Amino acid sequence: MKIQFILNNGDPPASKLAEVEIHFEEGCLSGLKLLGCSVWHTKKGQRPTVLVPCRSYATAGGVRYFQLLRPSADDAAGKEVIRKLKDFILDEYCRVADLSGGKDRGANKSKGKEA
């Protein structure tokens, strides 16, 4: 698996730091990539957050979101796997942002890391 970041070059929305592509290199998913993940700056000034693709749907009480990346079993272990993936992506993003001189919005760069 290879993680590739397309850093935001200041385009709206300003709080989006990077798009994330996950490239699969082994197994039956080899040659495919997962799009739609992204790294965002939080309003509270905390560490950035990773969002995975989801679909919105309307209910009588408002809008809800259905995560497209979900554990195969609805238990704590499955949720931990997703948290570890998000943490891995965030750690790699922080490394890439440091390599670009902290100017992650200054240029549209594509960098990756293999897992």
Phi, psi for 69 (deg, rounded to 5): -100, 110
How far apart (Å, rounded) are the C-alpha atoms in residues 114 and 13?
Answer: 28
Phi, psi for 111 (deg, rounded to 5): -135, 150
How far apart (Å, rounded) are the C-alpha atoms in residues 11 and 95?
Answer: 22
pLDDT at residue number 104? 42
The Cα-based distances of 32 to 5, 21, 25, 43, 49 in angstroms read 16, 10, 8, 33, 24
pLDDT per residue over 39-65, tens digit each? 999 888 788 999 999 999 999 989 999
pLDDT at residue number 49? 93
How far apart (Å, rounded) are the C-alpha atoms in residues 89 and 91?
Answer: 6
pLDDT along the chain (115 residues), means of 10: 90 91 95 94 87 93 90 86 94 85 44 56
